[in-house]
Amino acid sequence: MREGPTLFRESGPRCITGTSGRGYPLRPVHPSIFESPPLSSYALLDSGGAEKLERFGPVLLRRPDPQALWRPRLSPGAWDAADLSFVRESDRGGRWEARQGAAREARGESPSWKIREGDATFLVRPTPFKHVGLFPEQASNWAAIEALRAEFEAAGESRPRLLNLFGYTGAASVLAAKAGWDVTHVDASKTAITWTVDNAEASGLGRTSMRVICEDAMRFARREARRGSSYHAVLLDPPHYGRGPKGEVWQLEDHLAELVETAGAIAAPTSMIILSTYAVGYSPLAFQNLFADLGAGTTHAGELAIPEAPSDASLAPRFLPAGFCARWARGCGHDR
Ligand SMILES: C[S@@+](CC[C@H](N)C(=O)[O-])C[C@H]1O[C@@H](n2cnc3c(N)ncnc32)[C@H](O)[C@@H]1O
């Protein structure tokens, strides 16, 4: 197999020191990639031509991805085997079309099916906004949270506290609750909250297994800071723009610095903050610098990336970029 891109897994940007001919220090900065670990119910089969071909459980999905600038590797026939294909109808959305003879789960007015991941079960529901209720690139962050929980358990803290802001359909929250975290999940959308509760129930979690709150994330975080609450892990996956249930405006450019500062204020002495964003125009270096303002702690920043299932052993591994991410840690294993 040919060599793929250099991966600096779980490590921050590195400076390679040396000097140029004129004695000027050379310090090229390499990107870090937070690679998604393999998932049992999901695979990225191919990408290219501004699309991606994915398997969610028994169903093959084909949907646009503007990052996929390159050529697909699989044949047109392999792409035509997709059970559901997203057809864009406007800037804001579109519809899903099932192929003739599509998998049973993909048929009908509003297809929905369950997939199993680790100890959890998630409902996949293709939406008119192209997303399906699960962001597989977040698997790298789920793994980081699991590693942190194991650290706490080894240190005798059996029920650390996790706050998931902008928690969407609750994949991270459900996995964490199943693993023993005391979870507080916040999202402004009633649909996302209901989906989270459905995912929790499908995963065998009782109604009281985690706090699920429909509220503006910034408002909730500010209140927790005023109350002196503390969390051992804070997940932040904000959109570029969003609204709270009472019309509160979330605008990334205006509020991200305050959000990170507030997350720092509620972070326990041993804790981790994970920030991820998609298509918002800030680079990992910007995040690195933002987290440096929190003071003591270590930040690893880079790209979230989904590895493509290898189609041909002679080809270099390929990764689909899936947003930027920063992990700030203090007092735990990531803090180095
Ligand atoms: C990018 S999604 C999060 C994805 C999720 N973390 C995951 O990986 O599965 C952004 C979420 O933020 C929520 N949201 C938007 N504005 C919000 C606000 N002001 N307060 C809280 N949640 C908000 C949306 O409802 C949506 O569920």
Q: Which of 32-36, 182-186, 282-286 has the highest mean pLDDT?
A: 182-186
| Among 204, 41, 203, residue whose Cα is nearest residue 115 | 41
Measured between alpha carbons, how far is 92 from 175 in angstroms, rounded to an integer?
Answer: 30
Ligand 1 close to Cβ of residue 138 (< 6 A):
yes
Instruction: Kindly give the distance from the C-alpha atom of residue 189 to the centroid of ligand 1, in angstroms, as a whole number.
Output: 8
The widest CA-to-CA distance across the chain, in whole angstroms, is 68
Domain map of the chain by residue range? 33-38+135-330
What pTM was estimated for this model as a whole? 0.91
56-100 confidence digits (pLDDT tens):
999 999 999 999 999 999 999 999 999 999 999 998 899 999 999
pLDDT in tens, 177-206: 999 999 999 999 999 999 999 999 999 999
Average pLDDT over residues 315-336: 90
1, two tokens: 């197999």
Judged by DSSP in three states, 105 sits in helix
For residue 306, count CB atoms less than 10 angstroms from its CB and return exposed for 0-12, middle for 13-18, buried for 19 or more: buried
CATH for 33-38+135-330, options being 3.40.1390.10, 3.40.50.150, 3.90.1560.10, 3.40.50.720 = 3.40.50.150
Residue 314 clears pLDDT 50, i.e. is over it: yes
What is the atom index within ligand 1 of the atom nearest the CA of 244? 19
What are the tokens at 158?
């059996």
Mean pLDDT (the chain) is 91
**Ligand 1 pocket test target in 117, 163, 187 with most atoms within 8 Å of CB:** 187
Q: What is the pLDDT of residue 15?
A: 41
For the four alpha carbons of 202, 97, 68 and 166, in that order, the dihedral sign comes to negative
Residue of 224, 206, 296 lying closest to 262 (CA atoms): 224
217 in contact with ligand 1, CB cutoff 6 A: yes
